[in-house]
């Protein structure tokens, strides 16, 4: 049974985020934050094993695209999901406002150069989807421009797939109430205050516009080779388990193998 299918967006399916409960925990209904720790540890260990195999095999790569509203938990997800994984095999890339050089090129130029190489896992903390989300809501370019980018994105991700990169895309779906709680926590905690930006409130005021932009992007760009998953993210522990399972399932679907040694190991004598 494909339990993760409940969160996967099927190609061509209209998305209504109002129907996706950010507090859902149906894959682990009996777990709590406290009792989830052993499950998290086991999944971390399995991902670490698969990362070693991916590296050794050297023929494929994995790209995880993370998108979320402010406070959605992208950083926390990366920390928890990749605990125990060899950091030498993982490349985490963040995408903010394009530089002057990047603006002189097409919107995918800065993205493609950061895609993971063979044997590696790449993580995009925000991504090329900002160019159909923020750019759309903030009206930075005409609609005719951002709308045609859906096709460019599909073609780009098809290219990655065809050249050996497994693409998995995750929207961390938090509720507006949970975002309020997390923003307030930043204000109350001196160790988190640096994360607060007044512009976060401007973005929050456009919540409905962003939800519409997300819905259209998810519907237009989820494909069998680069599917979107809408992951419930109000419960951080549950979010982490689901993202781990998405990555593990993706890697287990590949025909990976440790290479044969170049020499007959049985004949080697170490003195």
Q: Give the separation between CA 56 and CA 261, rounded to whole angstroms.
A: 11
88-118: pLDDT as tens digits: 999 999 998 999 999 999 999 999 999 999 9
Q: Give the separation between CA 65 and CA 171, rounded to whole angstroms.
A: 8
**Residue 35: per-residue pLDDT:** 98
Class of residue 39 by CB neighbours under 10 A (exposed 0-12, middle 13-18, buried 19+): middle
Across all residues in the chain, what is the average pLDDT? 96
Q: Give the separation between CA 201 and CA 207, rounded to whole angstroms.
A: 10
119-135: pLDDT as tens digits: 999 999 999 999 999 99
11-54: pLDDT as tens digits: 999 999 999 999 999 999 999 999 999 999 999 999 999 999 99
Q: Which domains does the chain have, with CATH numbers?
A: 3-253 (3.40.50.300)
149-168: pLDDT as tens digits: 999 999 999 999 999 999 99
- Which tokens in the block code for residue 230? 């809408």
- Whether 144 shows a pLDDT value over 90: the answer reads yes
178-199: pLDDT as tens digits: 999 999 999 998 888 888 888 8
Residues 6+ apart with CB under 8 A from 264: none
Closest CA to 224 of 145, 119, 154, 124: 154
Q: Give the separation between CA 188 and CA 184, rounded to whole angstroms.
A: 6
- Phi–psi pair at 259, nearest 5 degrees: -70, 155
Whether the CA torsion 5, 169, 11, 163 is positive or negative: it is negative
Confidence at 214, pLDDT banded by 50, 70, 90: very high
Per-residue burial over 154-163, b if 16 or more Cβ lie within 10 Å, else e, is bebbeebbee
Q: Quick one: DSSP state of residue 84?
A: T
């Amino acid at each position: 049974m494909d339990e993760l299918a409940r969160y996967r967006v099927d190609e061509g399916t209209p998305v209504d985020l109002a129907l996706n409960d950010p507090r859902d925990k149906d894959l682990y209904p009996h777990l709590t934050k406290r009792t989830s720790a052993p499950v998290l540890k086991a999944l971390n260990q399995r991902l670490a094993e698969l990362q070693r195999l991916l590296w050794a095999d050297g023929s494929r790569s994995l790209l995880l695209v993370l998108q979320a509203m402010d406070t959605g938990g992208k950083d926390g997800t990366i920390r928890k999901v990749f605990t125990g994984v060899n950091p030498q095999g993982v490349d985490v890339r963040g995408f903010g406002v394009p530089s002057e050089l990047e603006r002189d090129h097409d919107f995918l130029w800065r993205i493609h150069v950061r895609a993971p190489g063979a044997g590696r896992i790449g993580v995009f903390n925000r991504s090329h989807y900002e160019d159909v989300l923020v750019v759309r809501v903030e009206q930075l370019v005409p609609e005719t421009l951002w709308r045609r980018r859906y096709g460019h994105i599909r073609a780009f991700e098809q290219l990655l797939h065809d050249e050996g990169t497994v693409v998995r895309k995750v929207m961390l779906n938090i509720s507006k109430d949970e975002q309020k709680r997390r923003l307030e926590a930043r204000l109350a905690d001196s160790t988190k205050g640096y994360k607060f930006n007044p512009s976060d409130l401007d973005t929050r005021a456009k919540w409905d516009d962003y939800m519409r932009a997300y819905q259209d992007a998810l519907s237009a760009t989820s494909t069998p080779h680069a599917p979107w998953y809408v992951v419930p993210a109000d419960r951080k522990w549950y979010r982490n388990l689901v993202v781990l399972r998405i990555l593990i399932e993706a890697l287990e679907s590949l025909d990976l193998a440790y290479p044969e040694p170049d020499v007959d190991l049985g004949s080697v004598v170490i003195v």
